[in-house]
Structures are given as C-alpha cells and as structure tokens.
Amino acid sequence: MMEEQARIMQALSGVTLAGHSVQGGMGLPPPHGHEGTDGDGRKQDIGDILHQIMTITDQSLDEAQAKKHGLNCHRMKPALFSVLCEIKEKTGLSIRGAQEQDPPDPQLMRLDNMLLAEGVSGPEKGGGSAAAAAAAAAAGGGAENSIEHSDYRAKLTQIRQIYHTELEKYEQACNEFTTHVMNLLREQSRTRPISPKEIERMVGIIHRKFSSIQMQLKQSTCEAVMILRSRFLDARRKRRNFSKQATEILNEYFYSHLSNPYPSEEAKEELAKKCSITVSQVSNWFGNKRIRYKKNIGKFQEEANLYAAKTAVTATHAVAAAIHNSQANSPTTPNSGFQMKDEEFQLDSAESKNSLLTNMFTAVLILSVFISLPSVLILSVFISLPSVLTLSVFISLPSV
C-alpha cells in the first residue's frame, strides 16, 4: 500500500500541472511554511500535500476534517484540481455511462398494468369495482353478494392503503438518499472534478436500486390482490346451500315433472326468480338432481312421496277452485306438457313411476281423509280423467 502511494506520488510529482511546469517555477506561488524558491522545495511541498491526501483515511474524523479544510485553503489546491481534471480526461471516466437509458422493464410494466386494472394504483374512487362486480356476477345474485362485494372492496382498499403508504415511504427514502448523495458529490466537486452527467448517472443508479425495491412491493401487492380475488371468485369456497324454500320449489317442480325433468329456459328463469338464484344454478341443481335421483331411486322414494302429496294438495286446491267457479275446464296431468328427452332416464325412472303411482294412491287416500273430499275427485287429477265428468257422477253436478 505504502509502496503504491509512493509510486503514485513519484509519478505525479513529474506530471505537467495543467500547463504549469512544476519544475519551471512559473505561476505557482510558494506554499505556506515553505519559502524555498528552488524546484526541490516545491517538489517536497507537493509531496507533502499528496502524502497528506493519501494518509487522510488513517486519521480520525476530526483530524481528517481539519486536514481537509487545510487542503481546501491551500494555495496549491487549484493546481492539484487541474491535475485531477487532466487525469480524469485521460482515463475517460466522464464518458462512461453515457448510454444509461434503459428500456422499461416488461415485468414492471406488467405489474403496473395489473395494479391499475385491479384499482390499486389507479384513481381512488371505484377502484376495482369492475373486478368486484364480475366476481359478484360469477358467484350469483342476491343481497348476500352485495355484502361480499363490499367485503371485497374493503379488503382491496386495505391493500391499496398499505401499498400507497409503503410506496410513499420508499419515495421519501429515495429522495432523501438522493439529496444526501448529491450534497456529498457537490461537496466533493470542490476537491475533485465531477461533471453534471456523473451526478445524473449516480442519481440514476440510486433510482434504479430503489425501483427494484419498489418492484418487490408491487409484486407483493399483486400477489395479495390475486389471493383476495381467487378467494372471492372461487364460488366453491363460498358455496351456500339453497334456502329450504328454494329447495322445496325446485323439488316440487322436479317430482311433478318426473317423467321429463328438463325445465325449459322459461321454466328455469321462472324457478330462478322464485328461488332467488341464477338460471345456471337452476340448471346445476336439475343436473345434480337427475343424476342423483337416477343413481339411487330408492333413497329418494320418501322425498318423492312427500312431494307427490304436496302436488296433490295443490291440484286439489285447483280443482276446488274450479268447482267454486263452476268452470268446466279439464285439468291436465302435471307431466302432460313435456316430451321425453332422455330415454335412459325414462327407462330407469319407469320403475319409480310405478311405485310413485302406488304412493300417489296412498297419498290420495290420506288426503281424502284429511280434507274430506271424495278420493275419486283427487284421483281424477292424477289419472287425467275429466274432473267435471267425475264430479258429475260423485257429487251430482251436471256435466257440461
């Protein structure tokens, strides 16, 4: 180390000081405390200064500051500064880093775009509402969704707040650090040549470092949004059983259309409306119901009986109303309006239809006891006999 210093000092002592010859004694007044007029005295003087510079790091801070101040005030300082300028020009340090303009990072662009799309980095109001609305639509309608919707937005706002707070902190730290470095460079520019380009380059380096930290923040924020979104959008996670009433409505339809349990689009819409669910949920329900019923008819027998009885009551009420109005419209069977779509289902369910018929008769008998109406009247509903004709026989009403 000391050898190297000595070598540099030796080399420098012989260099031309920006057009002033050290040896020649032109223009440079003698330093303080060294009144010698000969070349050796000046050489010694420069040697001392350089030695002071080289050993400055070995000293304490106060000592160094004092030395630094001494050097700054030294009358040889301009000459030394010129030397440094010359050296720098020769080594071409100032040229380096001229082509520093990086193209925008594609990953950063992706992150920025995503944060903007999710309403994290965009304008404050309505941020992410489109995403939340889409998620709500995917999960199905209803008041529950508006709760989930607001829940999603609240969580997104939370993420947004954290993101902005952290971003602000990073920016503040970046600015503080940049200011600090620039002050240092300005300070140093008094003792060594620093071009504005160099300062610019240094600022660029600092900004790049901080932007890489920012990218990590953006990445984490994106991950948080993705998790939130997936949790919100994944309907399976949020599955709720339909209300008892909705299930009853769907079951009633299913068992009253057992020979062809394929509701039309209109019927699906109607059911969806009644059950406060979506049409696709109705489709899902019927899909599940058909397959599960077909797979285990025995298991659903009780349920089938129950709904058959229910249908009977409904039909009875209809007939009673018909009697009341003295109308002669023949009621139709519940299944009459449907065509068989699925032969397999038809075959498989034939067995169940037979047993269902037996159960229906049982239900009719029970009903006739409970609602004090002739069994045949109720039966007529099920076996598609003209009610009025049947009634005319059993309750002595004139047939139309």
Partner DNA sequence: GCGAATGATTTGAA
Partner DNA sequence: TTCAAATCATTCGC
Which residues contact DNA by CB under 7 A? 138, 140, 234-242, 247, 262, 265, 280-281, 283-285, 287-288, 290-292, 294, 299, 341-342, 344-345
**Minimum distance of DNA from residue 292's CB (angstroms):** 7
Give the residue with the Cβ less far from DNA, 35 or 266. Answer: 266
Nearest distance from residue 251's CB to DNA, in Å? 9
Task: Report the residue number, 192 or 237, with the smaller CB distance to DNA.
Answer: 237
CA 199 to chain centre: 39
Least distance (Å) between residue 342 CB and DNA? 4
Q: For residues 383 and 219, what is the distance between their CA atoms, to the nearest angstrom?
A: 69
The least CB distance from residue 284 to DNA, in Å, is 4
Give how far the C-alpha of residue 14 lies from the chain's centroid of Cα atoms, to the nearest Å.
Answer: 67
Shorter beta-carbon distance to DNA: residue 255 or 382: 255
Minimum separation from the CB atom of position 250 to DNA (A): 8
First to last CA, the chain: 126
Q: How far, in Å, are 77, 186, 253, 274, 353 from residue 192 at the CA level?
A: 10, 10, 91, 84, 101
User: What's the count of helices (H) and strands (E) in the chain, helices before strands?
Assistant: 15, 0
Q: How far is CA 283 from CA 136, 167, 264, 290, in A?
A: 19, 47, 10, 11
Choose between 347 and 366: whose C-beta lies nearer to DNA. Answer: 347
Closest CB to DNA among residues 58, 265: 265
Cβ proximity to DNA: between 86 and 148 the closer is: 148
Nearer to DNA, 195 or 296 (CB): 296
Q: Rounded to whole angstroms, how far apart are CA atoms 108 and 139? A: 32
Q: Which C-beta is closer to DNA: that of 239 or that of 324?
A: 239
Three-state DSSP state, 27: coil
The Cα–Cα gap between 248 and 254 comes to 10
Give the separation between CA 400 and CA 393, rounded to whole angstroms. Answer: 12
DSSP β-bridge partners for residue 20:
17
CB of 237 to DNA, least distance (A): 3
Q: 3-state DSSP call for residue 17?
A: strand
Contact by Cβ (8 Å): 249, 271 = yes
- Cβ distance to DNA smaller for residue 51 or 240: 240
Q: Report the distance separating Cα 261 and Cα 250, nearest Å.
A: 11
Smallest separation (angstroms) from DNA to the CB of 149? 16
- Give the residue ranges of DSSP H helices in 74-128: 77-91, 106-117
Minimum CB–partner distance for residue 151 and DNA (Å): 14
Q: Rounded to the nearest whole angstrom, what is the least distance from the CB of residue 349 to DNA in the complex?
A: 10
As given in the structure block, the two tokens for residue 303 are 């349920």
